[in-house]
Amino acid sequence: MIAEAISWIWHNPDQFLPALWQHLVMFFCSIALALVIALPTGIAVARSPRLSFIANNIANTLRTIPSLAILAAALPLLGIGLLPSIVALVVLALPPILLNTCTSIQQVDRDILSAAKGMGMTRGEIMRIVILPLSAPGILAGVRTASVQVIGGAALASFIGGGGLGDFVTTGIANMDMSRLLVGAIPVILLAIGAELLFIAIARLFFRHVPES
C-alpha cells in the first residue's frame, strides 16, 4: 500500500503539490499568528503571578480540547474554508507557546536580574538583553510542540473545507482506500518528524542543548 501511495504521488503531482502547499500555508499562517499573540501575552503576564496563573489555566484548558473539536467549533462561527481552519489551528498552537514563554521568563535567575539592575539597565533593556535570550530555549520548545500539533491538526482541516493533505485522508476513509489515505498520512507524518528534527537541530546549534517542551 505504501508503494501504491508513493506511485500515486509520483504520477499525480498536479493534485498532490497544491494540497501540500495548502497544508504548508495553514501551518505557517497559524504558527505566525500564534507567535504574534502568544509571545507578547506571555511576556506581559509573566510579571504578574495572578495574571500568569489565569493565563496558564486558560492555556491548560485549551490543551485538553481535541483538535477536531476546535475545528468543529470554528465551523458555525466562520463557516468553511481556509480562514476558519487557520483560526482553529491558531487556537491549537497558542497554549504550548504561551505556557513555555511565561514559564521560561519566570524561571530566569533572580540574581541575574538583580545584577542587570545594578548595572543600570532599564526594564526594557533587561527584557531584551537578559530575559529573552535566557528564555529562548524554553520558548523554542513551545514553538516546536505547537508546530508538530498544528501539522497534525491541519490534516483534520479538510472536515471544514480547509483542504490540504487531509483531503486525501478523508477520501481514503470514505472510499475505504488505504493507499489514498496513506497519500495524505505519510507526508503529514514526515512533515511532523521533519519539524521536530529541525527544532532539535536549531536548539543544539544555538543553545547547545535540546529544551524540553
Collapsed DSSP state (helix, strand, coil) of residue 57: helix
Q: Identify whether the C-beta of residue 104 lies closer than 8 Å to the C-beta of residue 137.
A: yes
CA-nearest of 18, 21, 30 to 147 is 30
| pLDDT the model gives residue 208 | 62
| pLDDT the model gives residue 16 | 92
| pLDDT the model gives residue 113 | 83
CA-nearest of 73, 69, 67 to 26 is 67
Q: Which residues contact 213 (CB under 8 A, 6 or more apart)?
A: 96, 100, 141, 142, 144, 145
Which residue positions in the chain have pLDDT lower than 50? none
CA-nearest of 143, 147, 183, 144 to 164 is 183
Cell numbers at 194, concatenated: 521533519
| pLDDT the model gives residue 159 | 82
pTM value surpassing 0.85: yes
Task: Give, in order, the Cα–Cα distances in Å from 61 to each of 2, 42, 91, 151.
Answer: 38, 16, 11, 21
Cell numbers at 173, concatenated: 476513509
Residue 107, classified by CB atoms within 10 Å of its CB into exposed (0-12), middle (13-18) or buried (19+), is: exposed
165 residue type, one letter: L
User: Would you state the CATH architecture of domain 2-206?
Assistant: Orthogonal Bundle (1.10)
Q: Where are the domains of the chain?
A: 2-206
What does the CA dihedral 191, 192, 197, 198 come to, rounded to 10 degrees? 60
| pLDDT the model gives residue 212 | 56
| pLDDT the model gives residue 172 | 87
8-state DSSP, 13: H
213 residue type, one letter: S
| pLDDT the model gives residue 122 | 82
What does the CA dihedral 105, 108, 111, 114 come to, rounded to 10 degrees? -20
Residue 119 CA to its chain's centroid (Å)? 37
